[in-house]
A and B are shown apart, each in its own frame.
Chain A
C-alpha cells in the first residue's frame, strides 16, 4: 500500500510517498526549508512528489500526518490538509507525534518550540517513546542521559552536543506502521500550551 506522509510541525515542510510492508521504502520525498510558507507550498509539493513517483492521489491507500508539537499555525496547515485529502478521497488519515519521526533508536529529540523553549521526547533502544512529548526551557530540563538529536541551535543552552536531525518520511512511515491496521484516531494536534488569553473580568475605565 502507498502511504502519503505530511509534516508541517517544523520550519521544514516534509512530504513523502512510501510503500508499506516488509520491503517498505520511500518512493519520493521533498523536504523544503519552507519557514512560514507551509500553506502556500504544501499542496504543490504533494503534486510534485506524486509526479516524481509516477502515481496519482487515487493510488494512495492511507495518509500519515505529524501532529506536532510545533508552531501552531504551520502545524494546523498540515493537519487540516491531511484531513481534507483523506476526507475527499475516502482514505484513513493517521496522526503521529512529529518527534517520533526525528532520528532513530535510543535518543532524546529536541526541536524548536519558540519563545526560547524546546519540544522534547525520549526513546528507548527499540525506538519506542518512554516519555510524553514535553516543552520547556533548555536550562530547566532534566533530560535522560541519551544522545540528543534534533535542532543543533539548542546545544549550548542544553550544555550537551546535539546531532542534527529532522522529521523524515522514513521516520513518519516507521511511526505509522503499527497504526495502519486499526481505524484512525481523531487528529488532535499536540499543542502542549494553552492559548494566551486572559478572561476579561473587570471593566477598565477609559477615563480617570
Chain B
C-alpha cells in the first residue's frame, strides 16, 4: 500500500468503548480499545456518567496504544475523524473535544462523522471497496437501522429503524430474564446453540402486511419472552433456558434478515452489509448468509472485532471523506446525540 495515501486518526466515544484507530487509505493499521463495560455490568446497562468518566481517563493512553501498534507518530497523521453523533451526549463530547484538540495541535483537518455510516465504512478495511449502492443493516445495543447507501461519503438514506428497543437491547433484557450476564448477546448466542429454535413460537414484530416494511420492533418480543418465563416460574416448572434463548434469537434473526433481504430486492440492490455488535451473533450471520445466497445477494459482514464500536471504523469513514474531497468540519463542531443518518459528516 502506497505511503502517499492519507493517514487518518479516528476517535469513537459514543457509548462505553473508547476506540482509537489508525487507517491509511483502506488499510487498517491499528485499532486500540478501552472499555468500561465491566463497570456497567452490575447495573445491567451502560451508565452514561460512568462511561464519560472512563473515556476521559482512557483517552491519552489509548491514543498512544494506537500510534504504537501502527508504528507511526503524531507527525505522520494527515487528518482526524471523530464520531460526532448519534450517541450519548456526555460520552460523545469527550471524543469530540479530544479530536478537536489533536487536530488543532497537529494542524490537520477534522471530520465529525456519523457513527452509523462508520459502521458501514469499516467493512472496507476487510472486504475492499463497498459496492454502491449497498443496503446496510446496523444492529447493536444502541441502534437498529436499515439504510440505502448510494454513496458512503455523502449520500446515506434511512429506510427504517427500530420503533422501540434496539436489537441488542432486546438481547440484554432477555438475558436478564434468563439470569444470563450483561451484555446479553454473547451468552444468549452460546445458550441458544443447545436449544431448539422452534420449541416456542415468539412473535415477529412489524411483519404484518400493513406494517412499515423496514421498521423494527423488539419490545413486544421481549415482553412475550418475559411473560413466558414468568408463567413457567409461577407454575413452579424449570425454565428451559437454551430453548427460550434459541427461540428468542430465532425471532430476532428471522425479522432482521427477512427485512434486509426485502430491502435489497425492492431497491434492486445486490449487496448487503451487516454491522453493529449484534452482527457478531452466529445465528444472524448464518441465516443472513443462507437467505442472501438464495436471493443472489452478496453478503458482507466485518469480523466480530470490527462489528462492535471501535476507532478504526471512524478512521475508515474519515479516509473515505478525505478521498472524496468532502469539506472538513467547521471549528465549532459539537456533538449531536440524535444526528440523522443522512448527515454522513458535519
- List residues of chain A with CB under 8 Å of any chain B CB: 37-44, 46-47, 57, 72-73, 76-85, 87-89, 189, 191, 195-200, 203, 205-207
B65 to chain A, nearest CB (A): 13
Q: Which of B49, B55, B56, B63 meets A197, CB within 8 Å?
A: B49
Q: Which of A81, A189, A200 meets B43, CB within 8 Å?
A: A200
Known: A83-B60, A197-B49. A76 touches B102 (CB 8 A): no
9 interchain residue pairs of minimum CB distance = A88-B105, A84-B101, A200-B44, A195-B49, A40-B334, A44-B331, A197-B47, A77-B97, A206-B226
A152 to chain B, nearest CB (A): 28
Residue contact A88 to B100, C-beta cutoff 8 Å: no
Residue contact B226 to A73, C-beta cutoff 8 Å: no
Known: A39-B97, A43-B100, A197-B47. A85 touches B105 (CB 8 A): yes
- Answer yes or no: B104 CB below 8 A from chain A CBs: yes
Residue contact B93 to A43, C-beta cutoff 8 Å: no
Chain A residue with minimal CB distance to B179? Answer: A203
Task: Give 30 A-B contacts (CB < 8 Å), ordered by A residue.
Answer: A39-B96, A40-B332, A42-B97, A43-B97, A43-B104, A72-B52, A76-B52, A76-B90, A76-B93, A76-B94, A77-B97, A78-B97, A79-B56, A80-B55, A80-B56, A81-B100, A82-B101, A84-B60, A84-B102, A87-B102, A88-B101, A195-B47, A195-B49, A197-B43, A197-B49, A200-B43, A200-B44, A203-B176, A203-B179, A207-B226
B315 to chain A, nearest CB (A): 16
- Answer yes or no: B333 CB below 8 A from chain A CBs: yes
User: Chain A residues near B335 (CB, 8 Å)?
Assistant: 39
Residue contact B93 to A77, C-beta cutoff 8 Å: yes
In this complex, the member of B53, B105, B223, B332 whose beta carbon has the largest number of chain A beta carbons within 10 angstroms is: B105
A interface SS class: helix
User: Chain A residues near B297 (CB, 8 Å)?
Assistant: none
Q: Which of A83, A88, A199, A205 meets B226, CB within 8 Å?
A: A205
One digit per residue, 1 when the CB lies within 8 angstroms of any chain A CB and 0 when it does not, for chain B 205-240 equals: 000000000000000000100110010000000000
Chain A residue with minimal CB distance to B74? Answer: A88
Residue contact A205 to B230, C-beta cutoff 8 Å: yes
In this complex, the member of A84, A85, A198, A206 whose beta carbon has the largest number of chain B beta carbons within 10 angstroms is: A84
Distance of A85 Cα from B176 Cα, bound (Å): 43
One digit per residue, 1 when the CB lies within 8 angstroms of any chain A CB and 0 when it does not, for chain B 43-87 equals: 111010110110110011001100000000010000000000000
Known: A80-B97, A88-B105, A199-B42. A206 touches B230 (CB 8 A): yes
Distance of A77 Cα from B95 Cα, bound (Å): 9
User: Chain A residues near B97 (CB, 8 Å)?
Assistant: 38-39, 42-43, 76-78, 80-81, 84
Residue contact A39 to B104, C-beta cutoff 8 Å: no
Known: A44-B331, A87-B63. A197 touches B101 (CB 8 A): no
B49 to chain A, nearest CB (A): 4
Residue contact A39 to B334, C-beta cutoff 8 Å: yes
Distance of A141 Cα from B101 Cα, bound (Å): 39
User: Chain A residues near B55 (CB, 8 Å)?
Assistant: 76, 80
A75 to chain B, nearest CB (A): 9
Distance of A126 Cα from B102 Cα, bound (Å): 38
Known: A73-B90, A76-B90, A81-B97. A40 touches B333 (CB 8 A): yes
Residue contact B105 to A89, C-beta cutoff 8 Å: yes
Chain B residue with minimal CB distance to A201? Answer: B42
Residue contact A73 to B105, C-beta cutoff 8 Å: no
A202 to chain B, nearest CB (A): 11
Kindly list 4 other residue pairs between chains A and B, CB separation below 8 angstroms, not including A77-B93, A84-B97: A79-B56, A84-B101, A199-B43, A207-B223
Known: A39-B335, A195-B47, A199-B43. A73 touches B89 (CB 8 A): yes
Residue contact A81 to B101, C-beta cutoff 8 Å: yes
Chain A residue with minimal CB distance to B110? Answer: A43
Residue contact B42 to A73, C-beta cutoff 8 Å: no
- Answer yes or no: B106 CB below 8 A from chain A CBs: yes
Known: A85-B101, A87-B63. A198 touches B43 (CB 8 A): yes
Distance of A46 Cα from B42 Cα, bound (Å): 40
